[in-house]
């Protein structure tokens, strides 16, 4: 929730947390705990200095979006798969795509409606 506030100025009072997803780790060693939440309709958001644009894809759109993967070597020398979702002319990749991939696999039974 802190990151959502810092990145897109999302007021935590406008969010209902549904749960947490599996922890993820970036190649640089950052520990990320993804939070699944509902954002109140009409909640004000806006990009911070670190964000160029806010995207709002539906899970069903991402499920049908073209995907690709690439292999990269991390700072620790280990090979890593980097996923990409090509959505409406945007390349969603890196940690965001990694978390979305996990969410889509876990949400398979109900994500067609989202």
Query: Do 72 and 65 meet the contact criterion of CB atoms below 8 Å apart?
Result: no
How far apart (Å, rounded) are the C-alpha atoms in residues 14 and 8? Answer: 13
| Predicted confidence (pLDDT) per residue in 79-109, tens digit | 888 999 999 999 999 889 999 998 888 765 5
Length of the chain measured in residues: 114
The pLDDT of residue 76: 77
Domain segments of the chain: what residues?
1-54, 56-109
């Amino acid at each position: 929730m802190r990151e959502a506030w810092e990145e897109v100025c999302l007021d935590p009072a406008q969010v209902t947390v549904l749960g947490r997803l599996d922890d993820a780790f970036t190649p640089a060693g950052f520990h990320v705990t993804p939070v699944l939440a509902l954002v109140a309709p009409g909640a004000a958001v806006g990009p911070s200095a670190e964000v160029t644009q806010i995207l709002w894809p539906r899970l069903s759109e991402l499920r049908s979006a073209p995907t690709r993967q690439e292999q990269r070597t991390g700072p620790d020398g280990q090979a890593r798969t980097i996923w990409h979702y090509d959505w409406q002319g945007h390349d969603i990749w890196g940690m965001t795509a990694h978390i979305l991939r996990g969410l889509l696999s876990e949400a398979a039974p109900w994500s067609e409606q989202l």
